[in-house]
Amino acid sequence: MSKKMSILWAVALAAFVLPCSAAPDIESPNETREIEHATARFYEGLNAMFTGDASAMKQVWSHSDDVTYMGPDGGMEVGWKQVEAKWETQARLKLGGEVVADRIHVTLAGDMAVVQCRELGHNLDAQGRPLEVSIRATNVFRKENGTWKMVGHHTDLLPFLAQVR
């Protein structure tokens, strides 16, 4: 192989290997714990919202125009103004009950993270009877100014909420 060809191969190899080795540690235990804390804050905010208080939920979310919410009622809201209005509407329903994340799986890459889990628990119907919640959820977080903020939430449908829509 000529010297020129060797240099070209070395440059091509460096272009491939260096970005991979310089990539952030996507398995960082500290970052994973931060994502787990952000997830816990989301579910704390969700449970507060069930009592009529959407303030904690508003703190968890990014307030950017690219956020999306595809909740258990079957709708799709895009942008913080629409998502915020949806959380306020849901807070007024005062669904009661509690939902927790189970079987949490975190995928982290740079300043984005995807959390997949099961949402388990119950809400209350108009007569105060518990209605089971057992759905899949995908939560997307982005690190903004050093803090993990939710930018997407997508769940299976809940028939008792789809009727409300």
The domains found in the chain, sorted by start residue, are: 25-162 (3.10.450.50)
**pLDDT the model gives residue 24:** 45
What is the pTM assigned to this prediction? 0.81
Helices (H), the chain: 3-22, 29-49, 55-60, 80-93, 159-162
Low-confidence ranges of the chain (pLDDT < 50): 4-26, 165
**pLDDT the model gives residue 101:** 98
pLDDT tens digits, one per residue of 85-104:
999 999 999 989 999 999 99
- Give the C-alpha distances (Å, rounded to integers) separating 62 from 56, 79, 141, 153, 160: 12, 9, 9, 12, 28
Question: What pairing do the DSSP bridges indicate for beta strands 130-144 and 77-78?
Answer: unpaired
**pLDDT the model gives residue 164:** 52
pLDDT tens digits, one per residue of 100-131:
999 999 999 999 999 999 999 999 988 889 99
**pLDDT the model gives residue 11:** 38
**Alpha-carbon distance 118 to 137, whole Å?**
6
**pLDDT the model gives residue 109:** 95
**Alpha-carbon distance 92 to 156, whole Å?**
22
Q: What is the mean pLDDT of the chain?
A: 86
Residue 68 buriedness (CB in 10 A; 0-12 / 13-18 / 19+)? middle
110: its two tokens: 């740079």
